[in-house]
Amino acid sequence: MAKMLQRSLTAGLLVAASILQGCVNATVDEMTFLEPTEGIGDASVVIMGRRHAPDYETEFDFIECIGDHIRRGDNSISVLHELEFINMMYPWFEPRTAPLRTDDIDKLLAQQRVADRFEELKLEYMIWIDGSTIETNSSGSMTCGVGPGGAGCFGFGTWGNASDYEATIWDFTDEIEVGRISANTSGQSYMPAVVVPIPIIAPVQGTACDSLGDQLLKYLSAKM
Amino acid sequence: MVARLLDLITSGLSKYQRALGALGVALLFTACGAREVVVQGNFPKPLMDPLPLTVAVIYTDEFAQHEIFDEAAGRAESDWLVKTGDAQVEFWNTLLNGMFESVVQIKDSESLAAHQNTVDAVIIPAVADLQYTIPLHTNVKIYEIWMKYRFKMVALEDVHGNENGDLSINPDRYFADWTLTAYGKTPTAFLQSDEEAVNLAAVVALRDAGANFATSFSRVPDIATWMNEGLPPAPSEEAENTGATDG
């Protein structure tokens, strides 16, 4: 009877853990112009992270998340895979050599092979994402133990995360910047543990990804 | 011996307790062992218009077998051995083949003789310094590798083959001698071991070195002079035998 109760309790806690989520605050700012009213047709878009700062780098999985978000929203938009693009264009998009301003596009196109590759790819928009997600605070303590009768944890932990990202959209054909979108999100996650730890995670980075992804999709897609 | 010792220590305990004990002892010994990283990666060919030059490259033994050994500073740390030699050769072969119209490798007197009068210049790369940090050192969740390279260029006529097959170069004959630095970092990632992260940081550093080399090569003053004015190297002097490498 006691074992059944324990199993039910564990199952209940696991279900609760999968349902419960921490709260996230999100702020999105948008400033775009020259919107492609009929979508981007058969042209392609590449989304890349800025990684030249010494103290942080935009996460590869965050860039992938935004790309997936756009593909899911409108499968007619061809979003190039970041790593494949960087390898294809080596050494022109390494942290040391990546163009920082639209004026630098001309220098890139001066290399005939680079210009030919861009034409092959039909690259219309280059979107740079700059920012990262950091842990802002953490407190609490938890103790876990293993014994002959089983294992368990006891305690409480909490931590905060904050995401701060800015997307800069370059129109590659006209070599101009056509928009900036920023997303700031923050949230507090909790992990109470009575035998089983129950993570109540605030999806801070995921919300930033959805927010930026939605705005970029709205800009690029003819459907929205 | 160790098995007998373990048996002696754990006699009287249950099978599971013995297994747990053995695991604990194994972990204890693992923590003290040396950690080895043989750097591996896939390196893309550079996308650039090749310079109309035929260059030869000499990878010295020191370069081709480059490694760094870092002895543990305390009981909580491990020795580290980072072998970059194979990756260096693979990477620079890929890069140089994309940068120049033609690239040949000179290993000994035989290959030197085979390429007489067909090569514009010889490049000799060397790793002058390599430093790395892991989160244990810095308390920052980033793995970093910093490398300093020294490149030298010499005319093929100034590379001499010895009877034993070794190559020798007079140090006064280099017409270009410059250094460049490279940096690679990778943040900690879920389910990524220290070794994987150090490897990734080394690959990023190699790519950075390549990007630096490719974009700055023609701007190195001595190289620019050589390429623009085609100035011949300084008058020949008696070559100094320096074994398999340069002076």
| A46: pLDDT strictly greater than 80 | yes
pTM exceeds cut of 0.90: no
Per-residue pLDDT averaged across B124-134, rounded? 91
* Whether the predicted pLDDT of A7 surpasses 60: yes
B85 touches B38 (CB < 8 A): no
For position A9, what pLDDT does the model report? 59
Architecture of domain A24-133+165-180+204-220: 3-Layer(aba) Sandwich (3.40)
Classify A53 as helix, strand or coil: coil
The mean predicted confidence, pLDDT, of chain A is 89
The predicted model gives B208-229 an average pLDDT of: 93
Least confident of A37-41, B163-167, B223-227: A37-41
CA–CA dist B171, B153 (Å, integer): 10
Are A94 and B185 in contact (CB < 8 Å)?
A: no
Residues of A in contact with B47 (CB under 8 A): 88-92, 111, 113-114, 117
Q: Tell me what pLDDT residue B237 has.
A: 46
> With an 8 Å Cβ cutoff, are A114 and B47 in contact?
yes
Integer distance in angstroms from the first to the last C-alpha of chain B? 51
pLDDT in tens, B47-58: 999 999 999 999
- Reported as a pLDDT band with limits 50, 70 and 90, residue B133 is confident
DSSP state letters, B143-210:
EEEEEEEEEEEE-GGGEEE-TTS-EEE-GGG-SEEEEEEEEEEEE--TT--HHHHHHHHHHHHHHHHH
Q: Please report, for chain A, the start and end positions of each structural domain, with discontinuous segments joined by +.
A: 24-133+165-180+204-220
This model of the complex carries an ipTM of: 0.82
> What does the pLDDT average to over B221-228?
90
CA distance A89 to chain B (A): 6
pLDDT > 80? residue B26: no
C-alpha separations of A197 from A147, A193, B34 in Å: 17, 4, 35
CA gap B162, B168 in Å, rounded:
7
**Residues of A147-173 as b/e, b for ≥16 C-beta within 10 angstroms?**
eeeeeebeeebebbbbbbbbbbbbbbe
B48 CB neighbours in chain A (<8 A) are 91, 111, 113-114
Rg for chain B, CA atoms, rounded: 24
Nearest by CB to residue B211, choosing from A87, A97, A114, is A97
